[in-house]
A and B are shown apart, each in its own frame.
Chain A
Amino acid sequence: MIWIKIKRVIKTGLKSFARNGSVSVASTLVMTVTLSVITALIFVGALLQSTLQDIKEKVDINVYLENTTTEDQAQSLQKAVKARPEVAEVTYTSAEQALVAFRERHAGNPLIVDALDEVGGNPLEASLNIRANDPSQYQAISDFIAVQNESGENIKGIVKKISYIENKDAIDTLSRIIDSSQRLGFIVALFFIVISILITFNTVRLAIYTSKDEIAVMRLVGASARYIKGPFVIVGILYGLISAIITLVLFYPITYSLGNLTYNLGTGLNVFTYYLTNFMQITAIVVGAGLIFGMISSYMAVRKYIKL
């Protein structure tokens, strides 16, 4: 019996979707707009994330070591710093490597090369280049190194200078900007999602409003509430599913045409590549959102008109 009912509900839903052609098309289009907004927000989020990550990766601090520091001492400090959970990466550059790099960098500038030769020996220090997981963590790392320099076993007094202390203001400002951008991005996304959902809900409600009298008649011939709601929910699922497919198809040419542009803007992300590599996840989000919106909005709307 229950299977017959399910079969009837699905069949009635499909027929009703096809017969209410213009209402179905309008509702599907509105829901496509909603899902497009959500998909666009996924891309904007990814672009923001990638840009911020790019900026974060450009922020680092250098710890310059005294000339008297031995290789062992430098490696001990490197090990200790690397063990910190907030540290993403530590690279050691010996004084010799620093000199080679410096010469390479200034190979085209004879004035500097001559001056270096004039000084003789190696005026550059060995250093540790540290990248944190998050720019806000440099203070803690810098403090840790300072403590190690004062009381660390075997490595006492080897630190000459920490670049963080000089760049503190710039790093702090940057981490505040990153923080606010993420928060603002989230609020804007939430705002758009809420508005789109409300529009979808209202559209589906209007579509069902046109069936208000029919619902009353169904009630009068003794149809149960569930049997009346069923086909409307099926129609809602169809709205969601079809608009999800349209949205996914639409975003293929859109991301294709914007891919190079977004990459060249310095975001470090090609949206087309992102779309292709994350296709399964994006499909799951868009189809899932479509189904849920369609189902819930139909269910809520029809519930309103089913009265005793």
Chain B
Amino acid sequence: MIHFDNVSKIYSDNTAALDNISLRIEPNEFISIVGQSGAGKTSLIKMILGEEKPTFGAVYFEETDIHALKKSDLNDYRRRIGTVFQDFRLLAHKNVYENIAFAMEAAGRSEEEIAVDVPHVLELVDLSNKLWNFPHQLSGGEKQRVAIARAIVNQPDIIIADEPTGNLDPINTHEIIQILKKINDLGTTVVLTTHNKGVIDSLGRRVVTMENGRVIRDDKSGKYIL
């Protein structure tokens, strides 16, 4: 589904964020990317999102070179990816309903679809009672569940979760991971980056370990080893 073909990213000060990465992410996989801060996890994710361009190599989504896409095609491509971040990145001036509706509007969905799908997806993340709350009225765990609802509402092919549990307590962490697992069970590919050893060990899925911009380990059902 996603293929990194000898990808390197070198910044202007000559530091290499990614060093000759080759990696395949298969459909319906739940893949965790682990590594210390600065190992290159975030750069890897930015490459998938088309936020950064590789200095060498190419990143393919199915058969398409992501970084050769035109702007309008890039928008279409991004609508096939759902993103969840450590800092939630909700729209502060929109309430829960509008935050999720915005992603649907951006994808050109009708008002009727929005009116049906938003409450439905909020039910999936167990937030039906917070429809009209604004982000500042929610707890960290609730914000992250809104972010996940937004990420899945357009039924993306892949969910990218960049340290989604970084700001959460253990109970919320567990709940968020359960939701991600459920999404994966329903057929969506999940790419997770995390520092959390407990999360990785409990998942028992594929683990890619990064260090200094390289992939140093790729285990089918790995543990968190650094």
B-binding residues in A (CB < 8 A): 1, 4-5, 8, 15-16, 19-20, 213-214, 216-225, 227, 308
Contacts and interface: CB of A to CB of B under 8 A. Distances in A.
B108 A217 contact: no
A217 B91 contact: yes
B131 interface: no
A15 B102 CA distance: 13
Contacts of A227: 105-106
Given A4-B111, A308-B74, A223 B102 contact: yes
Interface in B113-154: 150
A218 B83 contact: no
B148 to A, nearest CB: 13
Given A4-B111, A214-B92, A220 B83 contact: yes
Given A19-B93, A221-B78, A222-B107, 10 more contacts: A213-B89, A214-B93, A218-B102, A220-B51, A220-B83, A221-B79, A221-B103, A223-B105, A227-B105, A308-B74
A222 B93 contact: no
Interface of B: 49-51, 71-72, 74-79, 83, 89-93, 102-103, 105-108, 110-111, 150
A308 B111 contact: no
B105 A224 contact: no
Contacts of B89: 213, 216-217, 220
B102 A221 contact: yes
Contacts of B79: 221-222
| Highest count of chain B CB atoms <10 Å: which of A20, A214, A218 | A214
A115 to B, nearest CB: 90
Nearest to B106: A223
B90 A217 contact: yes
A5 B111 CA distance: 11
B103 A8 contact: no
A223 B90 CA distance: 14
A41 B211 CA distance: 65
B74 to A, nearest CB: 7
Contacts of A15: 93
Which 10 pairs across A and B sit closest by C-beta, in order of nearness?
Answer: A222-B79, A223-B106, A222-B78, A221-B103, A217-B89, A19-B93, A222-B75, A214-B91, A224-B75, A222-B106
B91 A218 contact: yes
Contact of B76 (A8, A20, A214, A222): A222
Contacts of A4: 110-111
B93 A16 contact: yes
Given A4-B111, A213-B89, A221 B106 contact: yes
Contacts of A8: 105
| Highest count of chain A CB atoms <10 Å: which of B90, B106, B111 | B106
Given A4-B111, A308-B74, A220 B49 contact: yes
B196 to A, nearest CB: 23
Contacts of A213: 89
17 contacts: A4-B110, A15-B93, A16-B93, A20-B93, A213-B89, A217-B89, A217-B90, A220-B49, A220-B83, A220-B89, A221-B83, A221-B150, A222-B75, A222-B77, A222-B103, A223-B75, A225-B71
